[in-house]
Amino acid sequence: MNYQWYPGHMTKAKRMMQEDIKLIDVIIELVDARIPQSSRNPDIDELGKNRARVLLLNKADLADAAGCEAWIEHFRAKGYYAVALDSRRKNGMNALGRVLQEACREKIERDRKRGILNRPVRAMVAGIPNVGKSTFINTYAGRACAKTGNRPGVTKGKQWIRLNKNVELLDTPGILWPKFEDQTVGLRLALIGSIRDEILNTEELALELITFLKTRYPGLLAQRYACAEEGTPVAVLDEIAVGRGCIRKGSEPDYEKASALLLDDFRSGKLGRITLEFPDNTPGEHEQTAGGEA
């Protein structure tokens, strides 16, 4: 299956970000902690090459704790400020203010020498669809400022949000890039829900997830669904369908319904904390390191 999704509004959003970047001191890039590299848009690296960068590994509560630690260490070694957080429960939010001030320390010092005091740090919040940008902004601000949703493409335009006297945020729509050079990246994005399910074959997607879980997290499927993992991915999906009552007329397993159930259990964390990629097995990694202050 070919994984690709690039609706027209993303081209407009990218143009908008290019126009606004001159107003920005730092880019806060949200990534999904389950796929921290595959959920990074290489276009954002290009846009932000002369700006301070902060990487937020959001939805860390859904990711393998050891995986989060490995990725934080990996990104910091490349010169990024990196923080793992769960913006829904505010875990990790307290550290962000300090990290932003540190990332913009040179800019703040330049302002001070010019006699410019207390100018708020202007941060652009960027990332691909469905990584939780709007939820992060609302939690950080302590009020509902941005629309939220559990589907990609909720934010369509930009909006400035004044958090306090120290920070202003520019919310931007989620953007993917026009073509995934490595389809493994597309697969991982599809698994976490950053590509609309309506254009995907969810049964194939579920089989890919089963294959991965059998290898990386053996015993997890058996524990959750009381199924045998020794068989083929199709056999496992068959057992999940029967065990969870996903049956069509004529007593045939409803693979589409069982696939949707499995994907929902993974995305919501009901299967446990799972990381789909680690620093040592990541395709298509951007070699560029973090940019400095403009």
Binding site annotation covers 134? Answer: yes
pLDDT in the model for residue 2 = 53
Residues of the chain with CATH 3.40.50.300: 8-180
CA dist., res. 31 & res. 268, Å (int): 17
Binding site annotation covers 59? Answer: yes
| Residue 235 CA: distances (Å) to CA of 112, 217, 242, 246 | 66, 18, 11, 14
Q: Are 253 and 242 in contact (CB under 8 A)?
A: yes
Binding site annotation covers 133? Answer: yes
Binding site annotation covers 251? Answer: no
pLDDT in the model for residue 151 = 41
* Amino acid at site 272: G
Residues of the chain with CATH 1.10.1580.10: 186-268
Spell out the residues 6+ positions from residue 19 whose beta carbon is closer than 8 angstroms to its own.
Answer: none
Structure tokens at 70: 């490995």
Q: What is the pLDDT of residues 62-87, one digit of tens each?
A: 999 999 999 999 999 998 899 999 98
Q: Are 16 and 43 in contact (CB under 8 A)?
A: no
CA dist., res. 135 & res. 10, Å (int): 20
Binding site annotation covers 130? Answer: yes
CA dist., res. 27 & res. 50, Å (int): 10
pLDDT in the model for residue 92 = 73
pLDDT in the model for residue 47 = 79
Q: What is the pLDDT of residues 238-250, one digit of tens each?
A: 999 999 999 998 8
pLDDT in the model for residue 210 = 98
In the CATH hierarchy, which fold is given to the domain comprising 8-180?
Rossmann fold (3.40.50)
Q: Across the chain, what does the average pLDDT equal?
A: 83
Q: At what angle do helices 202-216 and 233-243 cross, to 10 degrees?
A: 110
pLDDT in the model for residue 94 = 76
Binding site annotation covers 45? Answer: no
pLDDT in the model for residue 9 = 55
pLDDT in the model for residue 179 = 61
Give the residues of the chain that fall short of pLDDT 70: 1-13, 143-158, 176-181, 281-294
In the CATH hierarchy, which fold is given to the domain comprising 186-268?
Conserved Hypothetical Protein Ylqf; Chain: A; domain 2 (1.10.1580)
Exposed/middle/buried for residue 281 (C-beta within 10 Å: 0-12, 13-18, 19+): exposed
Binding site annotation covers 61? Answer: yes
Write down the pTM of the prediction.
0.82
